């Protein structure tokens, strides 16, 4: 039990440190990879719903603390993302790496659409411009990062060099 809690806390520290310190450095234009959503998808698919929901809530709340006017919005959207991944995994076979990457892209797009919809006070024009300039590129960029992470997680993070 203590091992699970330590792993959980370590994952949150790593992801939050990445989001606050490194994500701006590797952003391309307005597109930023969202490691928290990748981890939510991975935890929900490989562990269970409890891991995804608790990680999503904790990481979302910590991420929202950077912008207190929207405190709680990211946390609830990340919890809903974990629930959506869980329900989708019971309807669709998620054994394939391609399906998991597409699931990450869909989760990132849905999360960002809902987030910016509330952040822009339901202004359709601003939402459409953000969709074209930020949301779609971020979903593609995040799914590319997720492809590498999910591939390595399937191989249990071991690389073997054969001669």
CA distance 76 to 61: 9
Q: What are the structure tokens assigned to 143, written together?
A: 């799914």
Q: Is the pLDDT of residue 157 over 70?
A: no
3-state secondary structure of 85: helix
| C-alpha R_g of the chain | 16
* Rounded-to-5 percentages of helix, strand, coil across the chain: 75, 0, 20
Q: Are 108 and 142 in contact (CB under 8 A)?
A: yes
pLDDT, tens only, 102-152? 999 999 999 999 998 988 888 888 888 888 889 999 999 999 999 998 888
Residue 105 confidence (pLDDT):
96
List 31's β-bridge partners, or say none.
28
pLDDT, tens only, 78-88? 999 999 999 99
Q: Compute the average pLDDT of residues 150-162.
A: 68
Q: Is the pLDDT of residue 162 over 60?
A: no
User: Right CATH number for 2-154 from 1.20.20, 3.30.1680, 1.10.1070, 1.10.1760?
Assistant: 1.10.1760
Task: Tell me the domain boundaries of the chain.
Answer: 2-154
CA distance 38 to 91: 20
pLDDT, tens only, 5-58? 888 889 889 887 887 788 788 888 888 899 999 999 999 999 889 999 999 999
Residue 1 confidence (pLDDT):
79
Residue 161 confidence (pLDDT):
53
């Amino acid at each position: 039990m203590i091992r699970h809690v330590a792993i959980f806390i370590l994952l949150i520290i790593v992801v939050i440190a990445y989001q606050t310190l490194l994500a701006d450095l590797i952003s391309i234009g307005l597109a930023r990879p969202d490691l928290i959503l990748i981890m939510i998808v991975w935890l929900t698919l490989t562990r269970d719903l409890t891991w995804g929901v608790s990680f999503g809530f904790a990481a979302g709340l910590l991420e929202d603390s950077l912008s207190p006017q929207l405190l709680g919005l990211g946390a609830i959207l990340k919890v809903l993302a974990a629930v959506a991944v869980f329900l989708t995994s019971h309807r669709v076979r998620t054994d394939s790496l391609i399906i998991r990457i597409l699931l990450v892209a869909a989760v990132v797009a849905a999360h960002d659409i809902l987030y910016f919809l509330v952040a822009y006070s339901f202004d359709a024009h601003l939402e459409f411009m953000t969709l074209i300039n930020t949301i779609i590129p971020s979903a593609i960029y995040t799914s590319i990062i997720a492809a590498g992470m999910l591939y390595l997680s399937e191989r249990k993070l071991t690389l073997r060099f054969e001669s």
